[in-house]
Amino acid sequence: MQKEIRARLDSLPRTEASFVEPMDCLSVSKLPEGLEWIWEIKFDGYRALAVKSGTGVALFSRRRKSLNSQFPYIVEALADLPAGTVLDGEVVAIDESGRPNFNLLQNFRAEASRIRYYIFDLLCWEGRDLTHVPMVERRALLKSVVVIPDKRIRISDYFEAAPKDLLSAVREQRLEGIIGKRKDSLYQPGKRSGAWIKYRLNRGQEFVIGGYFPGPHGLDSLIVGYYDGEKLMYVARTRNGFVPASRRQVFSRLKHLVTPACPFVNLPETRRSRFGEELNAEKMKKAVWLRPEAVAQIEFLEWTEGDRLRHSKFVGLREDKNPRSVVKEQAGDA
């Protein structure tokens, strides 16, 4: 290790390597300009923090759930990290065309050849706290000190190009979007300050599951929404995207959450839909309500003027998302 890097690390305060609540990105519909930003590709995977202590490697979801049993080959690949290390990154499944695929991540967790761990931040190294070091310096240290030859572990690239130029490449590769980070940003655990932003190209995001309609394989459709402050707002009844096996699987994951009360503050709907799809009081009698503790990834065509989703489709469950952090996101059109 170069003397300058060693001296910089030794100047930082000591800390115990442990779980750090991930810093969040603010969703935006317009990209900022300026040299103070760097840009990353937005992955479609599970946010994961890797902690190496004296007892070994622990891989955590953003909600502090252990991912060791789900991704043992990632844990194995990180075994040579020095004790006192904390990394922030994303577990991603790569399809045959080389693109991240969230559905593949859910269905092929045991297929090690498809799984990658992309590291994009270094929060602690050999017991030294880097969270108060500017982001661009953390990235430089990450690239200098974290050397893992295993192909399952990658250090995510970043770009200083104009964001619109990067968007052209992202569109061409049919990727989800881009992440912007201020070069001078410190790591703010659990915060969505706007120092990190995300810009989506696709129409899709996470939504909270607040109920379902029963069907032959446990459920026919999901009832989903997002939080506006403390209020859970209904946006869609989602039926597409399922096959019999996935209906049974999702039903088995939700049935313990049944509750008598509807969690959505804007139901029943009283305004008639032109397609007769409104969730009115009569239709609500057939619904099964759930405690809002599960999150689904949903794709859709567009938002309607009434703040509903048009042509929504279930993609998968999001175990890594805190339901209370699910808000209405912006999709870019630049």
Residues with a catalytic annotation lie at: 42
The total number of residues shown for the chain amounts to: 334
Alpha helices in 224-296, H assignment, sequence order: 244-254, 281-284
Q: In angstroms, rounded to a whole number, what is the distance separating the alpha carbons of residues 121 and 139?
A: 6
If you ran DSSP here, which 8-state letter would residue 166 be given? Answer: H
If you ran DSSP here, which 8-state letter would residue 151 be given? Answer: T
Residue 71: C-alpha distances to residues 46, 58, 200, 308 (Å): 11, 11, 27, 36
Structure tokens at 97: 């065309």
The SS3 of residue 268 is coil
Give the amino acid at 155: I
Confirm if 94 and 101 have CB atoms less than 8 A apart: yes
Confirm if 38 and 160 have CB atoms less than 8 A apart: yes
Structure tokens at 109: 């967790």
